[in-house]
Amino acid sequence: IGVSVLLQTVAMIIWTRNPLMFPQILPMDPIAITAGSEAHPPAIVTVTGMVTVALALIVMTGLWLLVEYTRLGRGMRAVAEIPRVATLMGVNPNAIITLTFAIGGIFAALAGVMMASNYGNASFSMGFLPGIKAFTAAVLGGIGNIRGAMIGGILLGIIEALGAGYLGELTDGVFGSNYQDVFAFIVLILVLVFRPAGLLGERVAHRA
């Protein structure tokens, strides 16, 4: 988090605090996928949104295959389990950690490009809150479980959308989408209190 704040400040100094227009890679024209009515407007998606979802599924599947079925993936799992024993097996922990962070950086850059494409602009602080939510999704699904992180992200998005929608209806629009971030942190607190291992995480027995 400290490095994140440092990078945000450097970005703010270089590009100023004002949002910048981001080039539209794909069409942003809305596409109605339901008929809708006067009381309930139709569900709308965009080509950029659909490509973002498809790309996320492809990337997550590729990452899962990398971790489960490649030599690099076995090295990652070994270093995550017991670094010292992994060293005895011929694995270089420093190289594995470096490659892991590099892969994470590539995926973060891809996520940033797709996020900026969806919103049409970019700012120095655009990645901070999504990063916190990504951590929340990983905790919800189970740290170290790729499928759990994906499920956690989907559940978190549904909870935020439904929570903000119903909160807006109950309060006649006083509290609505502006408070959807609250639900993410409520989920984080509840998971850490009642199930720290996450939904798909393994329970670890502690010896006295």
User: How far is the C-alpha of 168 from the C-alpha of 163, rounded, in Å?
Assistant: 8
Name which of 45-59, 151-165, 172-186 the model is least confident about.
172-186
User: Per-residue pLDDT averaged across 49-62, rounded?
Assistant: 90
pLDDT grade, residue 169 (50/70/90)?
Answer: low
pLDDT grade, residue 13 (50/70/90)?
Answer: very high
Q: Is the pLDDT of residue 172 over 80?
A: no
pLDDT grade, residue 12 (50/70/90)?
Answer: very high
Which is more confident, 11 or 37? 11
What pLDDT, on the 0 to 100 scale, is given for residue 98? 94
Confidence (pTM): 0.77
Other beta carbons within 10 angstroms of residue 139's beta carbon come to 23
Q: What is the pLDDT of residues 91-112, one digit of tens each?
A: 999 999 999 999 988 998 999 8
pLDDT grade, residue 71 (50/70/90)?
Answer: very high
- CA angle centred on 107, ends 69 and 76, rounded to 5°: 35
Name which of 61-65, 84-88, 142-146, 167-171 the model is least confident about.
167-171
The DSSP-derived string for 31-61 is EE-S---SSSPPPEE-HHHHHHHHHHHHHHH
Q: What is the mean pLDDT of the chain?
A: 83
Q: Is the pLDDT of residue 49 over 90?
A: no
Cβ-based neighbours of 203, under 8 Å, separated by 6 or more:
197
Q: What is the pLDDT of residues 111-146, one digit of tens each?
A: 989 888 888 888 888 888 888 888 888 888 887 788
Pairing of strands 44-45, 31-32: antiparallel
β-pair partners for 31: 45
